[in-house]
Structures are given as C-alpha cells and as structure tokens.
C-alpha cells in the first residue's frame, strides 16, 4: 500500500486527493472552496470511492475562516462518507507549495525548519504560502507520517541566469529576491515526461514547448527534460492571458495607475482577479468567452485574439530559445479540451513545421494524443496534466527511497 494524501492549497481553496502513488489510482478527492471570504460561507464537495462506500459523496456549506478550518472540514468529510482518515492507511502527505524561492530544488521532507521557511517565503507569495503553511501545520498535527513539500518553482531551477534575471538594479533585485521563479512546475514536469513516453523517445533527446492553458496559464521551454525558460516570473502574474490575470503588462502602465490614484490593494485585485479573460470579456470561463465570440460579441472576440496572439508570441520566443522544437504540447482545462483555440494558436505556423490535422484535433478523446499531421516536423500533442498524481509520485519516491 502506498497511499499518499495530496493537499493542494490555493489562495482560497484546498484541493485534495487520496492517491495510491504506485498505481496512480485515487480513492477520494475533494475541494474546499471560498476559504476566508468575508460575507460568504465556505463549501466542501467530497467524493470517496472504493469498497463499502462506492461513490459516497458529501457536500456542505459551512464557515471556513482559514486553511486550518478547511483542513478540518476535509477530515470531517472523510468521516461523513464512512471512510474516517484513521482507517485509510495514509503513508505520507504530499503538499503542493507554490513558492520555494531559490533554495528548494527538490521535493523536501517537512520538519519545523522547512515549515518555517515556507512561511517566510510567503513574503514572495503572499496569496499562497501562508495558507499552505496553515494546511501543512494542521496536517502534521493530524497525521504522524512523513510530510513532503513539492514546490511549483522547483522544476524551473534549471533556468539559466540570463533567462531568470530581470534587467533591473542588481542590488535591489538581490535584496528583495526579485527574479523569475516560474510556476506550474509540477504540471510542466509531468506533462513533458508523459509526452516523451507517448512519443516513445527519451526525454533527454527532446526540445518541448508546453502550453499549460487553464484558469492559470503558462508556457515552458523544456530542453532534454529541463526547464530552460517559462512565462510566469517573480509571481504567477506574468506571461500568458489567463482566466482573471492578464499576463504581460508594461510595468510603466502600473506605475501610471498608481500615480492616477489606484490603491495598492486595488491594483492587486485588478491584476489577480479583474484582468485576463474576465477583464476583457466579463468571464474567466473560456467556454463562455468562446460562445460569446461565436455569437458576435466584439469584446469576447478581442479577448480571444489577444489570448491566441500572446500564446503564439511565446511559441516564437521559445523556438528561438530552444533552437527549434520537437514537440508542442497542449495541456490543462483549455489546452486539453478546446480544439478551436488550439487551431487558432497553431494556425499559419506551417512554415515553422507546426501542422495541425483538423480531424485529429477535433476528435473527442481522452489521454495523450497526437493532433499534428504525420508530416508535421514538430509533433503537436495534447497531454492531460495530473498534478496530484505527480505530487503523490514525487512524495512517495522521497519517502520510500
């Protein structure tokens, strides 16, 4: 038995899964959301599978003032489904941690010192690390098993200095830890490995561009299995157009807004929650925006134009960084499911060797698949991401040795 409880705490949510790290099979999954939101109750949705509780589901609105309470709600949901956590033979807990700074390069066993550093690194990721720290402390108090931190930034530690350095005053940057860290590392890592396995080629021989297009979105240039550049930077705000984040914006425009009277917190809310598809077209759900554009809505059309333009911009950049590419890989909610935007992003890139096959692209299929033509010099793939399975795998590898 290699049961790993995976805890993926976001700024106002906790996603969790119970995964057998060796088989990848999951026996429970759930989501606690609206944590710490003033004026609205939290909510938990939980599903347990397996013997004695096949399909048991638990859903409830309840007060969840912080991530400690969110963790307790999860424990109660397991019990309410007839599968109390004490009986689940949990061997390790894997925690997704967004920001590992310049010091955590690998999955790391969590002791008091590591937990303290995760909290301190909250200075660089104020929306994420503090809640993750709370979830870690609650889980350590409850489960007397090894706890492993898997960092979103770790996969990007191989990015060379020329690509992670911002050209600002070096002393200022060093003093404040300002550099590109990159995020979505767990996803880029598992997707690039699965893409290589699908192609039946050693990952060391491949230059890949992975487009993780979900509510958060980032591009990554991967050379021989190592991240060499990525579009998210010091924070997960930089790069591609996302659900509620706009990606690249001239910092001068932000100074202008501050001078025009916007408060820092207002600017923060604008950039994190009021931009991207939501800012341009009124919804962060890609399906809504696509449907509105098809119905002739000008704002939605522009949003998709900007979305596709930015993605192509990064493909071009990473082709230059990598000196060409062997595979272009789409993943996450939009990337895995939306043939239309994949076609838009790849359209007209035949001269670069990127050729989509329309019927392969539009075929409804699950699992890794080829959507490029047989003649396409660059393999164009859809490869589903699975961050939780990867966190379970990395945690178990560290614990089981």
Residues known to be catalytic:
152
Residues whose CB falls within 8 Å of the CB of residue 219, separated by 6 or more in sequence, listed in order: 209, 210, 211, 212, 230, 231, 239, 240, 311, 314, 315, 318
213 is in an annotated binding site: yes
Residue nearest to ligand AMP (CB): 333
Does position 276 interact with ligand AMP (CB under 6 A)? The reply is no
Binding to ligand AMP (CB under 6 A): which residues in 233-272? Answer: 243
Does position 286 interact with ligand AMP (CB under 6 A)? The reply is yes
215 is in an annotated binding site: yes
287 is in an annotated binding site: yes
Q: How do beta strands 42-48 and 56-62 pair?
A: antiparallel
Q: Closest approach of Cβ 243 to ligand AMP, in Å?
A: 5
379 is in an annotated binding site: no
Q: Closest approach of Cβ 396 to ligand AMP, in Å?
A: 24
Instruction: Please identify which residue in 101, 246, 333, 368 interacts with ligand AMP, judged by CB under 6 A.
Output: 333
Q: What does the block give as tokens for 25?
A: 């099979």
Does position 190 interact with ligand AMP (CB under 6 A)? The reply is no
Q: Closest approach of Cβ 199 to ligand AMP, in Å?
A: 23
Stretch that binds ligand AMP, among 96-104, 172-180, 260-268, 279-287 (CB under 6 A): 279-287
Stretch that binds ligand AMP, among 33-41, 56-64, 107-115, 332-340 (CB under 6 A): 332-340
- Closer to ligand AMP by Cβ: residue 71 or 286: 286
Does position 285 interact with ligand AMP (CB under 6 A)? The reply is yes
Q: What does the block give as tokens for 183?
A: 């995020």
Instruction: Please identify which residue in 334, 354, 378, 389 interacts with ligand AMP, judged by CB under 6 A.
Output: 334
Does position 176 interact with ligand AMP (CB under 6 A)? The reply is no
Instruction: Please identify which residue in 149, 191, 332, 399 interacts with ligand AMP, judged by CB under 6 A.
Output: 332
Q: Closest approach of Cβ 136 to ligand AMP, in Å?
A: 23
Q: Closest approach of Cβ 37 to ligand AMP, in Å?
A: 19
Three-point CA angle 370, 372, 376, nearest 5°:
130
- Closer to ligand AMP by Cβ: residue 332 or 382: 332
- Closer to ligand AMP by Cβ: residue 355 or 386: 386
User: Contact at 8 Å (CB) between 178 and 234?
Assistant: yes
Binding site for ligand AMP (CB under 6 A): 214-215, 243, 285-287, 332-334, 337-338
List the binding residues for Mg(2+): 8, 387
């Amino acid at each position: 038995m290699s049961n790993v409880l995976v805890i993926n705490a976001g700024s106002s949510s906790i996603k969790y899964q119970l995964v057998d790290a060796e088989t990848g099979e999951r026996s429970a999954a759930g989501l606690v959301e609206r944590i710490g939101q003033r004026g609205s109750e939290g909510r938990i949705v939980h599903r347990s599978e397996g013997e004695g509780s096949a399909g048991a589901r638990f859903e409830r609105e309840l007060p969840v003032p912080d991530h400690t309470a969110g963790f307790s709600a999860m424990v109660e949901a397991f019990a309410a489904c007839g599968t109390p956590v004490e009986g689940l033979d949990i061997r390790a807990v894997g925690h997704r941690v967004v920001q590992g700074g310049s010091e955590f390069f690998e999955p790391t066993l969590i002791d008091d010192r590591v937990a303290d550093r995760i909290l301190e690194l909250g200075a660089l990721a104020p929306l994420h690390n503090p809640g993750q720290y709370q979830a870690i402390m609650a889980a350590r108090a409850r489960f007397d098993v090894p706890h492993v931190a898997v960092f979103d930034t770790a996969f990007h530690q191989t990015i060379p200095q020329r690509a992670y350095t911002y050209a600002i005053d070096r002393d200022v940057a060093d003093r404040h830890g300002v550099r590109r860290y990159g995020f979505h590392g767990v996803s880029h890592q598992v997707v690039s490995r699965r893409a290589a396995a699908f192609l039946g080629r050693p990952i060391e021989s491949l230059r890949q561009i992975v487009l993780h297009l979900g509510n958060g979105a980032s591009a990554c240039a991967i050379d021989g299995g190592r991240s060499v550049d990525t579009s998210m930077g010091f924070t997960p705000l930089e790069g591609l157009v996302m659900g509620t984040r706009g990606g690249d914006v001239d910092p001068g425009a932000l100074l202008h807004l501050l001078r025009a009277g916007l408060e820092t917190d207002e600017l923060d809310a604008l950039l994190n929650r009021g931009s991207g598809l939501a800012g341009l077209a009124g919804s962060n759900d890609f399906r809504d925006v696509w449907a509105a554009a098809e119905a002739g809505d000008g704002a939605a059309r522009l949003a998709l134009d900007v979305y596709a333009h930015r993605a192509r911009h990064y493909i071009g950049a990473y082709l230059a960084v990598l000196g060409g590419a062997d595979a272009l890989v789409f993943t996450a909610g939009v990337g895995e499911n939306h043939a239309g935007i994949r076609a838009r992003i790849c359209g007209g890139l035949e001269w670069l060797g990127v050729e989509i096959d329309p019927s392969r692209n539009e075929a409804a299929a699950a699992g890794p698949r080829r959507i490029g033509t047989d003649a396409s010099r660059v393999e164009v793939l859809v490869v589903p991401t699975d961050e939780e399975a990867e966190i379970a795998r990395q945690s178990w590898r560290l614990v089981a040795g």
